[in-house]
A and B are shown apart, each in its own frame.
Chain A
Amino acid sequence: MSGAVGSAPDDAGLAEGVARVVAVDHGTAWLEPEPTTSCAGCLSFSACGLKSGGSSRALVARRFPLADDQGYRVGERIVVGLPESAVLSASATAYAIPLLTMVGAGILAQGLGAGDGTGAAAILGGLAVGLLVARVVAGRLARRGAFAPRFLRRVAPGGGCGQGTGEPGMTGGPS
């Protein structure tokens, strides 16, 4: 854990990422995930559009709140963690549910002998239904706090989370 200052116990099985405190407001700190990229080792890295890891607008959209129980300062970098099971259930909710309804609608349409037009309508309808179901499921999970990251430790200047490489969690990317 290079650069870590103080570590919370019980942080096994967590997807870790480094985030920067961008605002502290009435007991809530707002954090912005640090941009990382998947292909920092690629020979064409210097010419690649992905090297910034995301635009500033995209980063603003990914800001998240954290209860200010550690006395955060603006500009400070901290390591936050999310249970790996939460990343899995988020993936299943966002991708698997709409996919299953979409493919199910397609197979049903094919079974009923639908043409391309009807089949396309069925698949798009299945996608819409799947997204609605995903919205409901995601709302339930979010209310239970399943996607809420938690503070793990502070990062010393120049340090990283130490486990980000190859382990995409909330902010880290695969190499």
Chain B
Amino acid sequence: MQDLALLMVGAVLVNNVVLERFLGLCSFMGVTTKVDTAVGMGMATTFVITVSAMGDWSLQTFLLAPYDLGYLRTVTFILVIAGAVQFTEMVIRKVSPPLFRTLGIYLPLITTNCAVLGVALLLVEGHYGFIQSTLFAFASALGYSLVMVVFAGLRERVALADVPPLFAGPPIGFITASLLALAFMGFSGISAN
């Protein structure tokens, strides 16, 4: 259980998918204008990353690795991610049509989020079992959501500040992101201890 906890803490903080691996930067800059929006997008992405990781692990273990089809990995994983998004959409539509009508917007955006594919490829490198894979994917997605929400909160504050015209808008956003990345570098000491 301690290994599992370390794996998850490492994925959330130490090897954060956005600030350490630089994945999902498009949504990181685009969907973080408001905290509410970032929370919604974060939860949707977390769900899809976790579900697609299960599919990716199964295909990698039972099809790609035994038949030496590693060169098809990226294409296969993209298909699995698209399938996971469709699955999520279908399930939400069945579970609650009002929910689907409210949340439908987030789902198509996730298909083009490179963090989803990045996490799936990281799982292959890690040679994890099924449960570890699922929990690693969940923790990585949790790290993504955490950074999205923190950054959205910072941007809401910065929007109220008197920023010099030259830095207004995306420039101050990038500077804020760089400072946040520096702050997350502090977590890298955890793994050494």
Contacts and interface: CB of A to CB of B under 8 A. Distances in A.
Nearest to B33: A166
A93 B91 CA distance: 13
Given A61-B93, A123-B134, A167-B34, A173 B47 contact: no
A41 to B, nearest CB: 9
Interface string A130-155: 01001100110110000110000000
Given A87-B40, A123-B134, A116 B129 contact: yes
Describe A's contact surface by its main secondary structure. Answer: helix
A21 to B, nearest CB: 16
A90 interface: yes
Contacts, number: 155
Among B43, B92, B105: residue with most chain A CB under 10 A: B105
Query: What class of interface size applies to chain B in its complex with A?
Result: 35 or more
B104 A58 contact: yes
B50 A102 contact: yes
Nearest to B61: A116
Interface stretch (A1-9, A67-75, A103-111): A103-111
B154 to A, nearest CB: 16
Given A39-B112, A174-B31, A174-B41, A62 B104 contact: yes
Contact of A54 (B43, B97, B99, B108): B108
Interface in B68-106: 91-93, 95-106
Interface in B120-154: 129-132, 134-135, 138
Interface string B143-181: 000000000000000000000000000000000000000
Nearest to A59: B104
B43 A138 contact: no
Nearest to A108: B131
Nearest to A143: B98
Contacts of A53: 108
Nearest to B27: A174
B192 interface: no
A172 interface: yes
A23 interface: no
Contacts of A110: 1, 4, 131-132, 135
Nearest to B50: A99
A50 B99 contact: no
B9 interface: no
A79 B122 CA distance: 43
Interface string A55-89: 00010011110000000000000000010111110
A167 B58 CA distance: 36
A86 B102 contact: yes
Interface string A1-21: 000000000000001000000
B131 A170 contact: no
Nearest to B135: A106
15 contacts: A38-B109, A63-B101, A85-B36, A87-B102, A90-B103, A94-B96, A99-B50, A110-B135, A134-B95, A134-B96, A134-B99, A168-B41, A170-B101, A174-B30, A174-B37
Given A99-B46, A138-B99, 13 more contacts: A84-B36, A91-B39, A91-B43, A99-B138, A103-B135, A110-B131, A111-B1, A119-B134, A142-B99, A147-B101, A166-B31, A168-B40, A168-B109
